[in-house]
């Protein structure tokens, strides 16, 4: 045992000495990690989650990840979209200075104007002699980098004319154009100034509204006055503020989309997310890809200033499928190579794996069935006749049941409809009146009743006969039925030439609109009546009452019909071809003589029995 232990100790010591003098091939010392990596610092003008910036970063990372460059990427966000950049600029400078005073990058990548300005203004203090590649710089001109060494990048410029021409081609009946623009920032100021010439050109053929620095309510008022075939273009920001922060671009887009009755087009994808119809969308992904390709050239030894600035701005023609039905967009008018978002997938593309699984299962099932059929064929032949007889019996039962259901439905419909006019009959009316009067005690909405009588209808029958009288009743009934639109509204034949319309949850104003519609439609029928004093045409008289809701309503359905009948006869007594209106309210007296309170039902003298003698 002692000898074995001694040998084990010697082996352990030998292994320890070998490991001590053998170079480590595992993880190197942490201080050496990425020591030789190419250091890239990306400064983003905005914030993570902002779609434009995210697309630029996604395109940039895509190109870098596919390259052979050993790089280390750091990212800083200036967050100038949500907050006042001027207020936070100094603190950003101090933060970045402390972070990178001992960690100088090999190249600076910047996106959009604020990051460009931050780096170029502070380059000598923060990153002296470091090459710069920019993207998303709005309306770039050569004088912007005059005197700045070792810098290049990609221009970003919106093309208002191209966007307008694309949208007008999709909407060939366009008569007017509205452009929402702003100049509160240097970028938007340049976009606005570069578009003025386009506005002037478009005015030669269209009515053009330029909404500069307008709030949502001002935009809504202007759009409401524009003709039906108009288009809206969002090329800036509204003047609305967000309180303790700036409104996001998505929120800016929503402000315009929510008040625009017309299709809205834009240059930025975040406005598509807000609900825009489409746009000539600037591609952040392509901007990021091109910026990364330029960075790789510089990392390979090319001087930045020797690489010309890319002036062409990539853009894609993108449309929102969800708006096609809203604005009746003809897909055949879309431009070539148009991208349609939110388009329903083809059934096969969406469920092809499900279909393949089902098909495989069906094939296996068929094989199994064929095997089973061989074994049970004789039994199936014996049962076949029985199955046929049973199927016939079930079919006969189903057929008779269906016929009985149809007969019951027809009988029920006939029991509730007037046979001549097709309106609801008196039975249905009585049930409806009872339910709606009872509902007044539970709801907070009024009930309006209209009773209508055809003027001089007896004389009409005497002159033209009862067959023509029936035609007249049908025509007027059809007009009454068209004049009501809600599911609970009821038009019923009360008897003879009298009709009743029940309008639940309807105030006096709404009932007046229905009455006016009825009188107008009857007049449009232009039915000849030789004994009528009203241009020898068939007219009607009407009574209308609106009952206000009350927990202690004493009025029942019968007394309500009596009340509206009296109003009808008031119209007749006052010359016919008119409507007499009233509002019925139940008022609680303060005290009676002996000091106790009691309910007294009466008609509010301020609002009731307003006799309208206007000839309708």
Do 451 and 581 have their domain in common?
A: yes
Do 73 and 132 have their domain in common?
A: yes
Residue 297 in any domain: the answer is: no
Q: Mean pLDDT of successive 10-residue segments in the chain (616 residues)?
A: 43 47 41 68 90 89 93 92 84 91 93 91 92 88 88 89 93 94 84 90 94 93 94 92 78 92 91 91 87 94 92 87 90 91 77 85 91 85 82 83 74 78 92 89 88 95 94 94 91 93 94 95 94 94 92 83 94 95 73 37 38 38
Give the separation between CA 232 and CA 277, rounded to whole angstroms. Answer: 10
Residue 65 in any domain: the answer is: yes
CA 231, 229, 334, 165 dihedral sign is negative
412, two tokens: 């029920």
Q: Is 286 helix (H, G, I), strand (E, B) or coil?
A: helix
Give the separation between CA 484 and CA 515, rounded to whole angstroms. Answer: 10
Chain-centroid distance, C-alpha 337: 25
Which H, E and C letters describe 409-476, residue by residue?
A: HHHHHHHHECCCCCCECHHHHHHHHHHHHHHCCCCCCCEEEEEEEECCHHHHHHHHHHHHHHHHHHHH
Give the separation between CA 499 and CA 516, rounded to whole angstroms. Answer: 16
Measure Cα distances from 174 to 236, 256, 271, 592 in Å: 22, 19, 22, 70
Query: Which CATH number does the domain housing residue 60 bear?
Result: 3.40.50.2300
Do 443 and 514 have their domain in common?
A: yes
Residue 217 in any domain: the answer is: yes
Residue 278 in any domain: the answer is: no
Is 193 part of the annotated catalytic residue set?
no
pLDDT the model gives residue 388: 86
Q: Collect all residues with Cβ–Cβ distance below 8 Å to 361 and sequence separation of at least 6.
A: none
Do 252 and 378 have their domain in common?
A: no
**Residue 556 sits in which domain range?**
426-611
Using left for φ > 0, alpha for ψ between -120 and 50, and beta otherwise, residue 535 falls in left
pLDDT the model gives residue 587: 64
Residue 283 in any domain: the answer is: no
Chain-centroid distance, C-alpha 528: 50
Residue 591 in any domain: the answer is: yes
Do 544 and 558 have their domain in common?
A: yes
Do 554 and 459 have their domain in common?
A: yes
Give the separation between CA 138 and CA 154, rounded to whole angstroms. Answer: 9
Measure Cα distances from 136 to 183, 311, 506 in Å: 18, 11, 57
| Contact indicator for 206, 177 with CB cutoff of 8 Å | yes
> Based on the structure, what is the number of domains in the chain?
4
Do 191 and 74 have their domain in common?
A: no
| Rounded CA Rg of the chain | 41
pLDDT the model gives residue 599: 37
Catalytic residue among 55, 57, 436, 497: 497
Residue 312 in any domain: the answer is: no
Do 448 and 585 have their domain in common?
A: yes
Give the separation between CA 150 and CA 128, rounded to whole angstroms. Answer: 11
Give the separation between CA 174 and CA 168, rounded to whole angstroms. Answer: 6
Query: Given 210, 233, 266, which residue is the final one in a domain?
Result: 266
- Which letter, b or e, does each residue of 501-512 get, where b requires 16 or more Cβ atoms within 10 Å of its Cβ? bbbbbbebeebb
Query: Please, which contacts does 238-241 make with residues 24 or more away whose CB atoms are closer than 8 Å?
Result: 238/180, 238/182, 238/214, 239/182, 239/184, 239/213, 239/214, 239/215, 240/215, 240/216
Residue 335 in any domain: the answer is: no
Q: Is 537 helix (H, G, I), strand (E, B) or coil?
A: strand
User: 173: exposed, middle or buried (C-beta count within 10 Å: 0-12, 13-18, 19+)?
Assistant: exposed
Query: Given 382, 412, 442, which residue is the final one in a domain?
Result: 412
Query: Given 266, 288, 305, which residue is the final one in a domain?
Result: 266
Do 147 and 164 have their domain in common?
A: no
Do 522 and 382 have their domain in common?
A: no
Do 594 and 547 have their domain in common?
A: yes
Query: Which CATH number does the domain housing residue 446 bear?
Result: 3.30.70.270
Do 219 and 174 have their domain in common?
A: yes
Give the separation between CA 295 and CA 109, rounded to whole angstroms. Answer: 8
């Amino acid at each position: 045992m002692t000898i074995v232990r001694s040998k084990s100790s010697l082996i352990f010591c030998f292994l320890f000495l070998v490991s001590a003098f053998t170079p480590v091939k595992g993880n190197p010392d942490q201080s050496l990690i990425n020591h030789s990596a190419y250091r890239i610092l990306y400064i983003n003008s905005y914030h993570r989650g902002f779609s434009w910036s995210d697309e630029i970063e996604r395109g940039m990372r895509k190109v870098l990840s596919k390259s052979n460059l050993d790089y280390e990427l750091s990212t800083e966000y200036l967050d100038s979209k949500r907050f006042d950049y001027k207020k936070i600029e100094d603190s950003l400078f101090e933060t970045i200075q402390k972070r990178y005073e001992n960690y100088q990058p090999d190249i600076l990548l910047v996106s959009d104007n604020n990051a460009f300005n931050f780096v170029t203004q502070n380059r000598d203090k923060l990153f002296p002699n470091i090459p710069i590649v920019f993207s998303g710089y709005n309306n770039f001109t050569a004088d912007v980098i005059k005197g700045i060494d070792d810098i290049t990048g990609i221009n970003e410029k919106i093309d208002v004319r191209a966007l307008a021409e694309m949208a007008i081609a999709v909407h060939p009946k366009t008569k007017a154009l509205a452009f929402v623009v702003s100049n509160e920032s240097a970028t938007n100021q340049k976009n606005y100034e570069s578009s003025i010439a386009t506005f002037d050109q478009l005015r030669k053929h269209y009515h053009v509204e330029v909404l500069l620095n307008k709030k949502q309510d001002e935009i809504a008022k202007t759009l409401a006055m524009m003709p039906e075939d108009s288009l809206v273009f969002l090329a800036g920001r509204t003047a609305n503020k967000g309180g303790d922060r700036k409104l996001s671009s998505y929120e800016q887009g929503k402000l315009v989309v929510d008040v625009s009755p017309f299709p809205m087009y834009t240059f930025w994808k975040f406005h598509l997310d807000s609900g825009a119809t489409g746009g000539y969308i600037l591609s952040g992904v392509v901007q990021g890809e091109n910026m990364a390709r330029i960075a790789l050239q510089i990392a390979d030894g090319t001087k930045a200033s020797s690489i010309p600035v890319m002036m062409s701005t990539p853009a894609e023609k993108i449309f929102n499928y969800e708006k096609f039905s809203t604005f009746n967009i003809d897909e055949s008018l879309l431009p070539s190579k148009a991208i349609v978002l939110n388009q329903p997938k083809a059934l096969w593309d969406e469920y092809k794996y499900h279909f393949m699984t089902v098909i495989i299962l069906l094939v296996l099932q068929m094989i199994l069935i064929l095997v089973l059929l061989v074994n049970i064929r004789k039994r199936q032949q014996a049962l076949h006749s029985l199955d046929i007889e049973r199927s016939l019996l079930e079919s006969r039962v189903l057929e008779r049941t269906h016929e009985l259901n149809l007969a019951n439905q027809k009988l029920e419909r006939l029991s509730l409809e007037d046979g001549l006019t097709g309106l609801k009959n008196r039975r249905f009316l009585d049930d409806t009146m009872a339910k709606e009067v009872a509902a007044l005690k539970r709801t907070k909405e009024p009930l309006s009743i209209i009773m209508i009588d055809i003027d001089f209808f007896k004389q009409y029958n005497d002159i033209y006969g009862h067959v023509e009288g029936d035609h007249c009743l049908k025509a007027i009934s059809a007009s009454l039925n068209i004049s009501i639109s809600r599911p609970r509204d009821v038009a019923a034949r009360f008897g003879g030439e009298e009709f009743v319309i029940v309008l639940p949850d309807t105030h006096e104003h709404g009932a007046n609109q229905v009455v006016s519609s009825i009188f107008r439609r009857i007049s449009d029928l232009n039915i000849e009546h030789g004994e009528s004093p009203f241009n020898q045409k068939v007219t009607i008289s009407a009574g209308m009452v609106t009952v206000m809701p009350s927990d202690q309503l004493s009025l029942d359905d019968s007394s309500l019909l009596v009340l509206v009948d009296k109003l009808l006869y008031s119209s007749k007594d006052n010359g016919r071809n008119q409507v007499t209106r009233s509002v019925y309210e139940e008022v609680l007296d303060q005290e009676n003589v002996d000091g106790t309170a009691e309910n007294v039902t009466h008609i509010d003298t301020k609002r009731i029995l307003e006799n309208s003698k206007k000839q309708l």
